[in-house]
Amino acid sequence: MLVQKIKQGNGFSLGEQEEKLKQLCKYKDYKVYKVYKDAGISAKNMSGRPAFQQMLEDMRAGKINYIVAYKLDRVTRSVRDLEELISQLELHNTYLVCDKDDVNTSSANGRFFVRMLTVLSQLEIEIVSERTKFGLTGAIKSDHIPRHLLTRV
């Protein structure tokens, strides 16, 4: 069985990503159990994503044995969440396959590669956050943003 986790990003619409993943599944002879979409919800962590949580429940219930995603950063960008996910995957004999990142967690090398990609994704989130805070601080100091509109910087 197969599960897909799809989220908009990287210039491809949700529909295009879904179509590419369905083609991959057909090529690999995977049966698609269900398509899980958390459109518009960030992959910075696994909480607050109802479809993702449902996918995990289906995995725990033995309904799926592969999770197929367009890119790893569509699954999670959190190193902590990735470690939890890998543990759950191993516990339930399930594998993660990411099309564009050439990820497959069925081997030690594949799990290592997934971890390195997630570290880079988390770094990207943290750098963007730092830049945003720096920019907001500068805008406040130069009175480009009224202080009363901000709760915290």
84-121 burial string, b = 16+ CB within 10 Å, else e?
ebbeebeeeebbbbbbebebbbeeeebbebbeebbeeb
Q: Report pLDDT digits (tens) over 122-142.
A: 788 788 888 888 777 777 777
Structure token pair of residue 148: 């009363």
Q: Where are the beta strands (DSSP E) in 1-89?
A: 2-6, 32-37, 66-69
| 95, β-bridge pairs | 66
Q: Report pLDDT digits (tens) over 97-115.
A: 988 888 888 888 888 887 8
Domain boundaries in the chain?
2-118
Superfamily of domain 2-118: Resolvase, N-terminal catalytic domain (3.40.50.1390)
| 96, β-bridge pairs | 67
| pLDDT number for residue 120 | 81
Examine the pLDDT at 27 and tell me if it is beyond 60. Answer: yes
Q: What pTM was estimated for this model as a whole?
A: 0.68
Residues 6+ apart with CB under 8 A from 37: 5, 6, 7, 14, 51
| pLDDT number for residue 29 | 93
Examine the pLDDT at 8 and tell me if it is beyond 70. Answer: no
Q: Residue 122 to residues 38, 44, 119, 146: CA-CA distances in angstroms?
A: 19, 8, 5, 31
DSSP 12: B
